[in-house]
């Protein structure tokens, strides 16, 4: 069995919008209340409540003390308790920080509800959700008949638009795809253009953030001269959020199309296991371009799309000297540690005018195929 989510844009009416706001507030309230309960139990030396025990406490005590919690979807409150429990689990495993209280103005407006007795359904131009009924939606993709709905997560974005992520469960078909040199490709990260592949092709990704930088700066200058908390201030914040969301949507659209094209054409993709967070710091001097590329997001898309098609996604160690090796003879040229050298001649085999990026992509491909065969 495997899971896959599809995100739909939804357009709730005024009554449905009001119900969503109530649910967001109640989920945040329950999260904060249970965090207080857990902290008080820790201070008094009592045992930490498990996920199920915390949910029972919410149903027996919080809903009795605060009757307004009964007005919203019960599964949304249950999942809020489970999210807090997940935060504690990550903290105990040293995978995250200690859970914090959610702020009304800063916390993400979102809640998750579970499927039961047909309470979630997808129609031609609507999505049926608990307590909301049929919500107008843009159904751009219809799930297969054998896909079963598991849950739905409703989210309000910063620009006041809504979306719902519907999670499906389905039987995964395992493909056995043979890997040959012709259906394998190596990708080398390129700050100006996203990547260069082993065939010499560059993605030529547009710099969406830089294209909208002037418009964004103008909107932010207007915000600077407004009174914090005023209606005009809040309206201007939404305009800025809309610009940011437009940039993010442009980037995601390009990355999805590029990753889908590669996954359809090749059954094995080899990449470098880079630390993109470290590469975006001030030391390299190109942090804005690195973040605008979204290379890490691109690799995640490639990974799951290849797995769906039975392909292979190979990560080569980041310390592998892909740029310093000649792809023809394997000669290592230590002078290439200087990033300003873009083309060079191999003194061992005599290959002339070697392009640094294409050579690195070819070496990544050969190393990835070696790791796969090993």
Q: Which of 197, 258, 292, 357 is catalytic?
A: 357
Q: Percentage of residues in the chain with pLDDT exceeding 70?
A: 99
Measured CA to CA in angstroms, residue 366 lies from 17, 48, 196, 280 at distances of 54, 51, 15, 27
Residue 46 is a catalytic residue: no
Phi (first) and psi of residue 136, to 5 degrees: -60, 135
CB 191 within 8 A of CB 288: no
Q: Which region holds residue 131: left if phi is over 0, alpha if psi is between -120 and 50, else beta?
A: left
Q: What is the average pLDDT across 70-77?
A: 95
pLDDT tens, 8-66?
999 999 999 999 999 999 999 999 999 999 999 999 999 999 999 999 999 999 999 99
CB 364 within 8 A of CB 316: yes
CB 30 within 8 A of CB 70: no
- The pLDDT confidence band at residue 178, using thresholds 50, 70 and 90, is confident
Distance CA 307, CA 267 (A): 9
Domain coordinates of the chain in residue numbers?
2-170, 181-373
Looking at per-residue confidence, does 159 or 113 come out higher?
113
Residue 89 is a catalytic residue: no
Name which of 80, 243, 257 is nearest 157 in CA terms.
243
Q: Indicate the pTM of the whole model.
A: 0.84
Helix, strand, or coil here: 167?
Answer: strand
Helix, strand, or coil here: 43?
Answer: helix
Q: Which pLDDT score, from 0 to 100, does residue 299 have?
A: 93
pLDDT tens, 224-246?
999 998 999 999 999 999 999 99
Q: Which of 197, 272, 292, 367 is catalytic?
A: 272
Q: What is the average pLDDT across 301-308?
A: 91
Q: Percentage of residues in the chain with pLDDT exceeding 90?
A: 66
Q: Which pLDDT score, from 0 to 100, does residue 36 have?
A: 95
- The pLDDT confidence band at residue 287, using thresholds 50, 70 and 90, is confident
- The pLDDT confidence band at residue 126, using thresholds 50, 70 and 90, is very high
Residue 177 has pLDDT above 80, yes or no: no
Q: Which pLDDT score, from 0 to 100, does residue 365 have?
A: 92
> Which two tokens mark 307?
């797995």
- The pLDDT confidence band at residue 97, using thresholds 50, 70 and 90, is very high
Q: Tokens 């107008």 — which residue?
A: 136
Q: Which pLDDT score, from 0 to 100, does residue 173 have?
A: 79
- The pLDDT confidence band at residue 145, using thresholds 50, 70 and 90, is confident
Question: Worst-scoring range by mean pLDDT, 290-299, 317-326, 342-351?
Answer: 342-351
Q: Which pLDDT score, from 0 to 100, does residue 278 have?
A: 82
Q: Which pLDDT score, from 0 to 100, does residue 166 have?
A: 96
CA atoms within 13 A on the CB side of 31: 26
Q: Tokens 């190109």 — which residue?
A: 286
> Which two tokens mark 356?
């640094």
Q: Which of 188, 258, 292, 367 is catalytic?
A: 188
Q: What is the average pLDDT across 76-102?
A: 94
> How remote is the C-alpha of 32 from its chain's centroid?
26
Q: What is the average pLDDT across 189-212?
A: 90
- C-alpha angle 236/238/244, rounded to 5°? 110
Q: Which pLDDT score, from 0 to 100, does residue 279 have?
A: 82
Residue 181 has pLDDT above 90, yes or no: no
Q: Which pLDDT score, from 0 to 100, does residue 140 have?
A: 92
Q: No. of H helices and E strands in the chain?
A: 11, 13
Residue 188 is a catalytic residue: yes
Q: Which pLDDT score, from 0 to 100, does residue 281 have?
A: 78
What CATH number does the domain located at 181-373 have?
Answer: 3.30.420
Q: Which pLDDT score, from 0 to 100, does residue 171 have?
A: 87
Distance CA 31, CA 37 (A): 10
Average pLDDT, rounded, for the chain? 91
Residue 175 has pLDDT above 90, yes or no: no
> E strands within the chain?
2-11, 109-114, 121-122, 126-129, 133-138, 148-156, 162-170, 184-190, 194-197, 268-272, 312-316, 343-344, 354-355
Measured CA to CA in angstroms, residue 288 lies from 213, 221, 230, 250, 276 at distances of 11, 20, 31, 16, 12
- The pLDDT confidence band at residue 330, using thresholds 50, 70 and 90, is confident
pLDDT tens, 242-282?
999 999 999 999 999 999 999 999 999 999 988 888 888 76
Name which of 300, 273, 277 is nearest 290 in CA terms.
277
Distance CA 152, CA 114 (A): 6
Helix, strand, or coil here: 26?
Answer: helix
| Euclidean distance between the first and the last CA atom of the chain, given in angstroms as a whole number | 28
């Amino acid at each position: 069995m495997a899971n896959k989510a599809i995100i739909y844009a939804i357009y709730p009416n005024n009554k449905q919008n009001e119900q969503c706001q109530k649910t967001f507030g109640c989920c945040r309230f329950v999260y904060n209340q249970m965090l207080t309960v857990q902290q008080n139990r820790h201070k008094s030396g009592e045992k930490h409540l498990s996920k199920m025990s915390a949910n029972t406490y919410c149903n027996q005590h919080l809903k009795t003390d605060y009757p307004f919690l009964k007005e919203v979807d019960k599964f949304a409150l249950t999942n809020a308790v489970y999210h807090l429990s997940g935060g504690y689990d990550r903290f105990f495993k040293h995978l995250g920080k200690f859970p914090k209280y959610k702020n009304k103005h800063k916390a993400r407006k979102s809640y998750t509800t579970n499927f039961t007795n047909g309470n979630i359904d997808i129609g031609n131009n609507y999505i049926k959700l608990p307590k909301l009924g049929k919500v107008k939606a843009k159904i751009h993709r219809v799930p297969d008949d054998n896909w079963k709905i598991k849950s739905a997560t409703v989210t309000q974005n910063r620009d006041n638009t809504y979306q719902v992520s519907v999670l499906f469960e389905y039987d995964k078909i395992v493909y056995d795809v043979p890997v040959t040199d012709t259906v394998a490709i190596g990708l080398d990260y390129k700050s100006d253009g996203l990547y260069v592949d082993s065939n010499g092709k560059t993605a030529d990704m547009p710099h969406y953030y830089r294209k909208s930088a002037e418009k964004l700066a103008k909107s932010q200058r207007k915000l600077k001269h407004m009174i914090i908390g005023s209606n005009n201030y809040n309206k201007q914040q939404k305009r800025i959020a809309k610009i940011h969301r437009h940039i993010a949507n442009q980037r995601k659209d390009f990355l999805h199309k590029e990753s889908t094209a590669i996954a359809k054409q090749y059954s094995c993709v080899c990449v470098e296991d880079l630390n993109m967070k470290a590469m975006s710091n001030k030391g390299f001097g190109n942090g804005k371009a690195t973040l605008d590329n979204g290379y890490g997001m691109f690799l995640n898309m490639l990974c799951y799309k290849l797995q769906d098609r039975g392909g292979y996604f190979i990560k080569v160690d980041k310390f592998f000297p892909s740029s310093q090796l000649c792809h023809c003879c394997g000669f290592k040229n230590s002078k290439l540690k200087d990033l300003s050298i873009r083309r060079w001649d191999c003194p061992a085999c005599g290959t002339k005018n070697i392009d640094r990026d294409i050579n690195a992509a070819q070496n990544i491909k050969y190393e990835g195929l070696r790791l796969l065969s090993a």
